[in-house]
Amino acid sequence: HIQSGKLCALAVQAKQRLSPLPDVPTYGELGLADLNTPTWYGILTPRNTPDPIV
């Protein structure tokens, strides 16, 4: 969605820019090298999705 323009990435938490997102700066490039953000992963599904699929 970032490449399509539907979402806007502000920065990436990496030491170098990510090859799939070459125009998105790193925290360090924005002067935020000491910023530490925890990573969160989640999966969203429609209501009533069967347990075997989840």
For the chain, the structural domain boundaries read 1-54
User: Can you give the pLDDT at residue 46?
Assistant: 92
User: Can you give the pLDDT at residue 53?
Assistant: 87
User: Can you give the pLDDT at residue 18?
Assistant: 94
**Is 51:39 a contact under the CB 8 Å cutoff?**
no
State pTM to two decimals.
Answer: 0.61
Q: In the 3-class helix/strand/coil scheme, how is the chain assigned residue by residue?
A: CCCCCCCCCCCECCCCCCCCCCCCCECHHHCCCCCCCCCCCCCCCCCCCCCCCC
Residue type, 29: E
User: Can you give the pLDDT at residue 5?
Assistant: 84
User: Can you give the pLDDT at residue 3?
Assistant: 84
pLDDT tens track of the chain, all 54 residues?
788 888 888 999 889 999 999 999 999 999 998 888 777 778 889 999 999 988
Task: Tell me the backbone φ, ψ of residue 15, rounded to 5 degrees.
Answer: -75, -25
